[in-house]
Amino acid sequence: MQELSLDRFVLAGQAWGARQTHIFAALHPTIVRAAVLIDTAPEVKKSVAQAVLSYLHEINNLSSFEEFVSKVHSREPNRSIDHIRTMLWHQVEQLQDNKWGWKRDMRTISGGGPPSPMDSPKYLWASLATVRCPTLLVRGAESPILTEDMAARMLQALPVAQLEIIPRARHLVATENPLDFERSFRRFLNKAIVL
């Protein structure tokens, strides 16, 4: 941050990035002016986590890039084909056998990597309570990740927070309903920057 000459800034993240956002905000309260946590939760139901893992494994090792695009769109119809194509271009690669697969190491997603203490629900709940900056919690109205109950618990844990529920969106809120997401984001920023 010092190399970029950033002294106080707004930090936002989606999913795992939102976890990192709230951890960073908790550890560095003097430099994070406001935080935006997009569809994340300190803990996720096992059934939901298993469904995500199954989805990632099912849509893998496909015969073409366009097959990837088609399969993702069939599972995530709220996202445009053009957006899916652009995002996948950075997330998948052609493998040695000429099939297409995720760039990420699937072993780490499946829990094959070493566990981090910062990923434990106990640590995540405790660190939420120490975030002192204004915080916007964004939930996709149809999200299986950040449920209504979980969002309510997070609002109780966060000292200075508000919730925005974005209609017609699941987990990938900003791409599934960008207009409503942007309105909520701007409203919060205008208020947070005035504080």
Mean pLDDT of 154-166: 95
The residue type of 159 is: P
Q: Which pTM was predicted?
A: 0.81
Based on the fold, state whether residues 167 and 183 are members of the same structural domain: yes
Q: Render the burial of 169-195: b for 16+ CB within 10 Å, e for the rest.
A: bbbbbbbbbbebbeebbeebbeebeee
The helix/strand/coil state of 32 is strand
Residue 30 lies in a domain: yes
Based on the fold, state whether residues 149 and 99 are members of the same structural domain: no
Mean pLDDT, all residues of the chain: 87
Q: What is the CATH number of the domain that holds 33?
A: 3.40.50.1820
Q: Are 130 and 32 in contact (CB under 8 A)?
A: no
- The percent of residues above 70 in pLDDT, for the chain, comes to 89
Of 112 and 70, the one with more pLDDT: 70
Residue 36 lies in a domain: yes
Query: How many domains in the chain?
Result: 2
Based on the fold, state whether residues 125 and 91 are members of the same structural domain: no
Mean pLDDT of 39-64: 83
Residue 4 has pLDDT above 80, yes or no: no
Residue located via tokens 């405790």: 126
Residue 105 has pLDDT above 80, yes or no: no
CA separation (Å) from 194 to 35, 132, 138, 189, 190? 14, 16, 20, 8, 6
Mean pLDDT of 36-62: 84
What does the angle CA 124 – CA 161 – CA 27 come to, to the nearest 5 degrees?
45
Residue 67 has pLDDT above 90, yes or no: yes
Residue 152: partners with Cβ closer than 8 Å, 6 or more residues away: none
Q: What are phi and psi of 8, to 5 degrees?
A: -135, 130
What pLDDT is stored for residue 37 in this prediction?
97
Residue 117 has pLDDT above 70, yes or no: no
Q: pLDDT category, 58, cuts 50, 70, 90?
A: confident
Based on the fold, state whether residues 77 and 133 are members of the same structural domain: no
Residue 54 has pLDDT above 90, yes or no: no
Q: Are 15 and 39 in contact (CB under 8 A)?
A: yes
Based on the fold, state whether residues 123 and 183 are members of the same structural domain: yes
Greatest mean pLDDT range, 13-22, 96-105, 185-194: 13-22
Residue 142 has pLDDT above 70, yes or no: yes
Q: In the structure encoding, which two tokens stand for residue 11, read together? A: 């930090």
Whole-angstrom Cα Rg for the chain: 18
